[in-house]
Amino acid sequence: GAVVSQHPSRVICKSGTSVKIECRSLDFQATTMFWYRQFPKQSLMLMATSNEGSKATYEQGVEKDKFLINHASLTLSTLTVTSAHPEDSSFYICSASGLAGNSYEQYFGPGTRLTVT
Amino acid sequence: RKEVEQDPGPFNVPEGATVAFNCTYSNSASQSFFWYRQDCRKEPKLLMSVYSSGNEDGRFTAQLNRASQYISLLIRDSKLSDSATYLCVVKLPGAGNNRKLIWGLGTSLAVNP
């Protein structure tokens, strides 16, 4: 149980285009979803926290107009990287938290590797 | 000072060796503590939670010293498959599901035949 999927697993796009990444909780209702970014040889950095049905809370330094987050249902959150630039190339990982079994742990998706050319 | 600090390594050890990783955290109000394992280009996976009394899971032993704000992970009889990056993670206080996880940089372990 407690499976989280992400799609796509890998995407290459041209500079200036927008990319949407989906995060789904497959067997539990995720009341909260977290979006992280990880650059090579760096730790995971939390970008934003989203609760279903409300606006996401962004971490300091993360542009909310560039990284659009939608958490419209208890099983789906999307992250859209708008007008992507090469410096946005990174590993984007979502995690979902909700009552799965008897705990509220964060369960991680497999990540999306974004390359902007 | 970083919120969670780890020695990045790399640690290169032979099979069967015992290896210990250390981690310190800066926020004394931190509530929960974890060790995650991350393989190259993969998502992190929970290895074990860390409790004040210390806890063991097979070859893995985790310790927490709240007074020193220090966490450790000991791996005994290391296997080739233990090669990965080990991430020290601290959960900050907060409301419900919104409690944030703060991640260390990770310690790289390579177990050699």
Please judge whether B44 and A51 are an interchain contact, meaning their C-beta atoms are less than 8 angstroms apart.
Answer: no
Measured between beta carbons, which residues in chain A are less than 8 angstroms from residue B106? 43
Is B105 an interface residue toward A (CB < 8 Å)? yes
3-state secondary structure chain A: CCCEEEECCEEEECCCCCEEEEEEECCCCCCEEEEEEECCCCCCEEEEEEECCCCCEECCCCCCCCEEEEEEECCEEEEEECCCCHHHCEEEEEEEECCECCECCEEECCCEEEEEC
CB proximity A105 to B under 8 Å:
yes
**Is the Cβ pair A44, B41 closer than 8 Å?**
no
Q: Which helix (H) or strand (E) holds B80?
A: none
The DSSP-derived string for B26-65 is S-TT--EEEEEEE-TTS--EEEEEE-TT-EEETTEEEEEE
- Among B77, B38, B33, smallest CA distance to B55 is for B33
User: Is B103's CB within 8 Å of A43's CB?
Assistant: yes
Q: Which residues of chain B have pLDDT under 70?
A: 1, 94-98
> Quick one: tokens of A18?
């927008």
Task: List chain A residues with pLDDT less than 50.
Answer: none
What pLDDT is stored for residue A31 in this prediction? 86
**Which of B5, B35, B43 to mutate against chain A (most A CBs within 10 Å)?**
B43
Predicted pLDDT at A101: 59
